[in-house]
Amino acid sequence: MINNDMRRVLLWSVFAFSLLMLWDGWLRHTGQPSLFAPTPAAPAQAASGPAPDATVPQAGSTLAGNAPAGATPAGTGGATPARGELITLTTDVLKVTVDTLGGSLVRAELLQHRASGGQEGNMVLFDRSGAKTYVAQSGLIHSTPGGVPTHLTPFTVQSTERALADGADALVLKLASEPVGGVQLVRTYTFQRGSYVVGVQQEVVNQSEQAISPQLYVQLVRDGSLIHEGPDVWGAPQSYTGPAFYTEESKFRKVEFTSIDKNEADFQKTADNGWVAMVQHYFTAAWLNTDKMPREFFARRVEGSNLYAVGMLFPVGEVAAGGSKTLAAQLYVGPQEENKLSALAPGLELVKDYGWTHLLAKPLFWLLDKIHGVVGNWGWAIVLLVVLLKAAFYGLNASAYRSMAKMKALNPRIQALRESLKDNPQQMQQEMLKIYREEKVNPIGGCLPILIQIPVFIALYWVLLSSVEMRAAPWVGWITDLSVKDPYYVLPLLMTASTLLQTWLNPTPPDPLQAKLMWIMPLMFSVLFFFFPAGLVLYWLTNNLLSIAQQWYINRSLGVQN
């Protein structure tokens, strides 16, 4: 049997350790050094000026095995690449820029999401400015001597609309490449109202005198800089930045930039299904094709730069002389809205990074989302989520609180016993165990509420910091963003007061030093909550208030003086 002192040591050790790990995670979330690891070295930057375009996959790649290797196009080297005309298109949710040199998407502004890091303006996902590069490209590869159109081939715009018209459901941009080796690529982008999904139709037109069998590649090219956002609790990775692959057989696979550098990237190379994505905190871009058809996945570092290309290769099939063939795909560029992503492609919702808490965090978000659908406010949804969780664990918590109440009632006897037998620790221990048995008290019973709350607390921590739905979500009054700290620290102060009140309701340790620590430790750890997201503090404050009410009621029903 564990005595009262050991019970408190266990209780506070678990609580302190958990909060210490959360604090370390918050340091990393805000870009500060971890308590347990040196600050990661900054990734190598590209040479001054814009980074060179990604290389074209090597001609002759097959769907029989290896991913395509890069081959630097003549004349690009490390110099600033040539650029074509920049075409800007605007819908109700997206403002994108297409470069006619290659017909690539080189900028994507999300009109309904503000910029991160306190910057003004909207969130920009795709970009090609300064040292930052993040673009979506596509083209053909074929072993014919004359070549085929790639993402380095000039395109001509064949449509005139640049903005989604009032009452229109779609905006279409059509481009046609210059013929290369007698082959022309006609690309059509379709932007739907209210959607972050871009339809991409690729028509291969064979104007040569012989049949060809090219391959179509789609790829995302991004610099290797990491996004220093997201939680990092002990044993869990920081919110992930980098490529991800999915197939029905191997499921969701993250591929670190460092593993690509070491040629150790572990993902399925060929399949007849799946998608590829670039993932960062809150947002993602992904090439999708839900048709059952052969495809090859690849990931490579562009030689001589800090750029990484990940994508898929599709066989176009034989295109007869004078004939054409069309392939379609989708490009998603937007927020990690879990429910919408799951409807687009199998497993796409997994780009939302819950870390190792996924099994608990996913149902928590599901329940939170259902509550939000009823109340229409994420703050009140958090409050009601806590109410439901407390109701679910009411019986177990009540048993624990009764044990704590009995321990508090026994404190005078235990204190007198410790005083009378302070020179005989062994007999004192035996007498204390005897009292616990006679009164049917479990000294570690009071640990259960904290032990139950900790995994839920950590999982909800990930939910709140991983869910883009919480980004800029208001609650009441001064709380205009549940994903950042309370600007006036009202919630942390209330949570600190509630923690101290809850401590007062607990049994007081007979040992004077432990009694002081019992008050100091919760006060110290409450300070950490001044820097946590308001949504998380709201959860913990609500949980404290309900716990206080339940514990006060039980104490009163058992006749224990508070």
Q: Which domains does the chain have, with CATH numbers?
A: 4-34+364-557 (no CATH), 56-353 (2.70.98.90)
Percent above pLDDT 70 for the chain: 74
- As a whole number of angstroms, the distance between CA 213 and CA 62 comes to 11
**Burial classification of residue 8, based on how many CB atoms lie within 10 Å of its CB (0-12 exposed, 13-18 middle, 19 or more buried):** buried
Q: What is the mean pLDDT of residues 450-467?
A: 80
pLDDT of 27 reads 52
What CA–CA distances, in Å, run from 247 to 142, 289, 298, 348?
26, 11, 13, 10
**Exposure on the CB side of residue 454, measured as CA atoms within 13 A:** 19
Backbone angles phi, psi at 133, to 5 degrees: -140, 125
pLDDT band at 96 (very low <50, low <70, confident <90, very high): very high
Cβ atoms 292, 272 nearer than 8 A: yes
pLDDT of 517 reads 63
The least confident of 130-144, 189-203, 392-406 is 392-406
- pLDDT tens track for 410-424: 767 777 777 777 777
- As a whole number of angstroms, the distance between CA 107 and CA 88 comes to 9
Q: Is the pLDDT of residue 75 over 70?
A: no
- pLDDT tens track for 349-363: 999 988 788 889 999
Provide CB contacts within 8 A for 92, sequence distance 6+.
Answer: 111, 164, 193, 194
pLDDT band at 83 (very low <50, low <70, confident <90, very high): confident
Place of tokens 């990074």: 353
Tokens read off for 108: 């994507």
Would you report the helix, strand and coil content of the chain in percent, each value rounded to 5? 35, 25, 40
- As a whole number of angstroms, the distance between CA 179 and CA 189 comes to 19
- 117 vs 36, residue with greater confidence: 117
pLDDT of 431 reads 75
Backbone angles phi, psi at 447, to 5 degrees: -75, -25
pLDDT of 394 reads 75
The pTM score is 0.78
Say which amino acid occupies 555: N
Q: How many helices (H) and strands (E) in the chain?
A: 11, 21
The least confident of 105-119, 263-277, 437-451, 474-488 is 437-451
- pLDDT tens track for 246-270: 999 999 999 999 999 999 999 999 9
pLDDT band at 24 (very low <50, low <70, confident <90, very high): low
pLDDT of 484 reads 85
pLDDT of 429 reads 76
pLDDT of 78 reads 38
Q: Which of 337, 354, 378 is nearest to 461 (CA)?
A: 354
What CA–CA distances, in Å, run from 523 to 23, 233, 487, 502?
15, 21, 20, 12
- 24 vs 231, residue with greater confidence: 24
- pLDDT tens track for 147-176: 899 999 999 999 999 999 999 999 999 999
- pLDDT tens track for 126-154: 999 877 999 999 999 987 777 899 999 99
pLDDT band at 465 (very low <50, low <70, confident <90, very high): confident
pLDDT of 57 reads 62
pLDDT band at 454 (very low <50, low <70, confident <90, very high): confident
Cα-Cα-Cα-Cα torsion 488, 492, 494, 499, nearest 10 degrees, comes to -170
**Average model confidence (pLDDT) across the chain:** 81
For residue 284, give the DSSP letter. Answer: E
Q: Is the pLDDT of residue 109 over 50?
A: yes
State the first-to-last Cα distance of the chain, in angstroms, to the nearest integer. 27
Q: What is the mean pLDDT of residues 105-110?
A: 98
Q: Is the pLDDT of residue 21 over 90?
A: no
The winner for highest mean pLDDT among 77-86, 172-181, 449-458, 531-540 is 172-181
- pLDDT tens track for 257-309: 999 999 999 999 999 999 999 999 899 999 999 999 999 999 999 988 899 99
pLDDT of 399 reads 66
Backbone angles phi, psi at 380, to 5 degrees: -65, -30
pLDDT of 512 reads 62
pLDDT band at 43 (very low <50, low <70, confident <90, very high): very low
